[in-house]
Amino acid sequence: MSRSRLGLGQEGLVYIPANNSFHNSGYSLFRKDRNGNREGGGVCIFTNNDCTSASQVFLPDKFISLELVVIDVILTASSTKFRLFLCYRPPCHSEYSLEAISYTSLLCECLKTLWPSNSTVLLCGDFNFPSINWDNTQNILNNMFLDFFYNNSLSQLVTKPTRVGGPSRNGFILDLIFCNDTNFVHNVNVTAPFSSSDHCTVEFDIFDNVKVSQDDISSYDFNKADWASMASYLNNVNFFDLFSSSVVMT
């Protein structure tokens, strides 16, 4: 396994130039700004150009209001490919809010539209589902996302609270990592918040199955073996005496 650097975040945490001016930084930026005149918001992904090759998958116009960025990633060391979704779902005051139900329905529809078949997929972000239970059906809002979760055979990998405070003394698990391959993501770790964020940082490793070049492997070239000499040698071995004097363990 090797480590490839991806940075996922909400744009409200740091100032990001509108012209994506990150030339000569060694990183590529993929972003989806928040619609309207609201300050801050949006989501972004930074990729390290030394170890990844990435291209953005643009949202159809129907889903332009979503805070969602999607990229296809190739890890250059191994040619491992996967699709990465980064999402922000706004919080709601009621799980029966029509606005929240409409947004979640549109989000699930967009995910289904862009979800690749026969491919590894990572879905990450702040989903603001503080009361969701991944093992049981609940209210209409949670059930809508649970249906998507089950239908795509996903695993949710964050097990510790990512936002501490509010009405719950123990905090909430709001920032989530989903994957359709349980062997692809390792070492998920919830650490201190980044910058002024009130959410913890979630770190994880991606399994990068690096292929070893054949030039790095030492092996015998049996095509050049002296088969005649080996046969002559073995013909002169008295295997009856050899095996009769040997101790056989059963």
Q: Alpha carbon of 182 to those of 91, 102, 176, 222: distances in Å?
A: 28, 30, 14, 40
Sign of CA dihedral 28, 32, 36, 39: negative
**Paired strand residues for 57:** 70
Please state the separation of Cα 50 from the chain's center in Å.
19
| Residue 203 identity (one-letter amino acid) | E
At residue 216, the pLDDT reads 56
- Give the mean pLDDT of 174-192: 93
At residue 34, the pLDDT reads 85
Res. 218: pLDDT tops 70? no
- The DSSP 8-state label assigned to residue 200 in this structure reads -
At residue 228, the pLDDT reads 86
Q: What is the band of 154 on the pLDDT scale with cuts at 50, 70, 90? A: very high
Give me the DSSP letters along 156-176.
E---S-SEEETTEEEEE--EE
- pTM value? 0.76
Q: What is the band of 234 on the pLDDT scale with cuts at 50, 70, 90? A: confident
CB atoms within 10 A of CB 84: 22
Lowest-confidence pick of 120-134, 141-155, 159-173, 177-191: 159-173
Domain 6-206 has CATH 3.40.50.720: no
At residue 11, the pLDDT reads 44
Res. 168: pLDDT tops 90? no
Burial of 80 (0-12, 13-18, 19+ CB in 10 A): buried
- Give the mean pLDDT of 162-184: 84
Q: Alpha carbon of 223 to those of 219, 220, 226, 233, 234: distances in Å?
A: 12, 9, 9, 19, 19
At residue 67, the pLDDT reads 94
- Which phi and psi angles does 231 have, rounded to 5°? -65, -40
- Give the mean pLDDT of 222-243: 81
Res. 211: pLDDT tops 70? no
At residue 22, the pLDDT reads 59
- The distance in angstroms from the start CA to the end CA of the chain is 40
**How do the domains of the chain map onto residue ranges?**
6-206, 217-244
Summarised one tens digit per residue, pLDDT across range 72-111 is: 999 988 889 999 999 999 998 888 889 999 999 999 999 9
Residue in 127, 124, 156 with CA at minimum distance from that of residue 144: 127
CB atoms within 10 A of CB 171: 16
CB contact at 8 A, 29 and 22: yes
Which of 120-124, 136-140, 239-243 has the highest mean predicted lDDT (pLDDT)? 120-124
Q: What is the band of 137 on the pLDDT scale with cuts at 50, 70, 90? A: confident
188 vs 1, residue with greater confidence: 188
39 vs 179, residue with greater confidence: 179
- Given its phi and psi angles, is residue 24 left (phi above 0), alpha (psi -120 to 50 degrees) or beta? left
